Amino acid sequence: MIKLEKWVGKAQEKKGFKISWGALYVCALFYRSIIYLRHLLYQFKIFKTKTASIPIISVGNIVCGGTGKSEFVAKLIKDLARDDLSILTRGYRARRKGEVRLVEDSDDGDEPFMLQQKCKKASVIVGKRRENSAKLAASLGKKAAILDDGMQYLRLKKDVQVVLVRADDPFTRGFVPYGMRRELLSKLAGVDFFIIHGAQSEKNYELVKRDLLCYSNAQCFGTQYSLDKINNRLLGKKVGVFCGIGNPQAFMKQLSNLDLKVVKKKFLADHQKFLGFKVFYKTCKNLGAEDVVCTTKDYVKLSVDEQALVTPIQISMDVTFDKGIYQKLIAKIHNSIERKTELNEG
């Protein structure tokens, strides 16, 4: 996504950028048509939707990256406080191939491995066919599955659907590649809960909430990133920063709370491995950096020797607005587990 944003930005700076935007808009219309056709094929049952034997809780979004899905999945696992949960993920850009498997290391994908490290009690399962992953989860005795990035996965029926949006740009200007949207707004009608992430004020939160309720009757709550106290040891230090995530600006904003003096920074494409790390590290040290920092998602992609040179920034997600609605989500998931367990046992 970083590469796409840079390309679009360069196109806009050129004198003939209107032609570039026009081409992007035409491509976006074509992309939207494919999405619409795909939904029709499922609606008329030409493509089949499978029902899992355990509840499926989908956590997704309507844009490409940068809304905090993985961080929220980790928070949800923690707050549900159960040891019989699983996380189903595709394993985007995983180097290890295989149909369905438990996550072993970063070769199964950076986000799956990061989730495994954060959610020790949950089984993180990687596989392109998430319905098969759900079967594996059930065979392992798991009572429910969190479907990471699940909104666009139509092959598996969801018991609870949660969608995150960014408070600063909930819908973007349009579909990829003209904008960053990848889902029809009409499909928001099937959402159970909206998470408005990153609202800077209650007014900002309420305005986005009002816009969302034009498409759905779903309940809303707000979230925000927060720095774990362990990061305080970095206060005021000179650092080098790199990250390969969907929304690097949000990461840099969190770093500003530590009053860091950034001597050099490097933004990579989402999920991209930092092949030039050693050169970057040496440059940062030559510029007087006392440490080099990155996200936990980037940290798991480094070699053991490289990890020894880097401090990962520990970030959590807090509920900031309508906390009672979040508790309703937790209760709904518990109820779904109990109900399906009774059906399976009966």
Please say whether the beta carbons of 315 and 293 come within 8 A. Answer: no
Residue 316: its pLDDT value, please? Answer: 92
Give CA–CA dist 275/297, Å, rounded.
15
Nearest CA-CA partner of 166 in 204, 199, 192: 199
Phi-psi region of 285 (alpha: psi -120 to 50; beta: other; left: phi over 0): alpha
pLDDT of residue 105 exceeding 60, the answer is: yes
Number of helical H runs and strand E runs in the chain: 11, 13
pLDDT of residue 225 exceeding 50, the answer is: yes
Residue 11: its pLDDT value, please? Answer: 53
The residue among 250 and 184 whose pLDDT is bigger is: 184
Please say whether the beta carbons of 320 and 208 come within 8 A. Answer: no
pLDDT above 90: percentage of residues in the chain: 77
pLDDT of residue 42 exceeding 70, the answer is: yes
Indicate the average pLDDT of the chain. Answer: 92
Give CA–CA dist 58/328, Å, rounded.
16
Residue 32: its pLDDT value, please? Answer: 96
Residue 252: its pLDDT value, please? Answer: 93
Q: What is the pLDDT of residues 56-101, one digit of tens each?
A: 999 999 998 778 999 999 999 999 999 999 999 998 878 888 789 9
Place 14 in a pLDDT band, splitting at 50, 70 and 90: low
277: phi then psi, degrees, rounded to nearest 5 = -60, -45
pLDDT of residue 3 exceeding 70, the answer is: no
pLDDT of residue 1 exceeding 50, the answer is: no
Entry pTM: 0.91
pLDDT of residue 103 exceeding 70, the answer is: yes
Q: Which of 125-139, 190-204, 258-272 has the lowest mean pLDDT?
A: 258-272
Give the DSSP H or E segment for 295.
strand 291-295
Mean pLDDT of 331-339: 97
Q: What is the pLDDT of residues 134-165, one digit of tens each?
A: 999 999 999 999 999 999 999 999 999 999 99
pLDDT of residue 47 exceeding 80, the answer is: yes
Give CA–CA dist 77/83, Å, rounded.
9
Place 2 in a pLDDT band, splitting at 50, 70 and 90: very low
Q: What is the pLDDT of residues 275-316, one digit of tens each?
A: 999 999 999 999 999 999 999 999 999 999 999 999 999 999
Q: At what angle do helices 69-80 and 323-345 cross, to 10 degrees?
A: 70
Mean pLDDT of 230-254: 92
Residue 283: its pLDDT value, please? Answer: 98
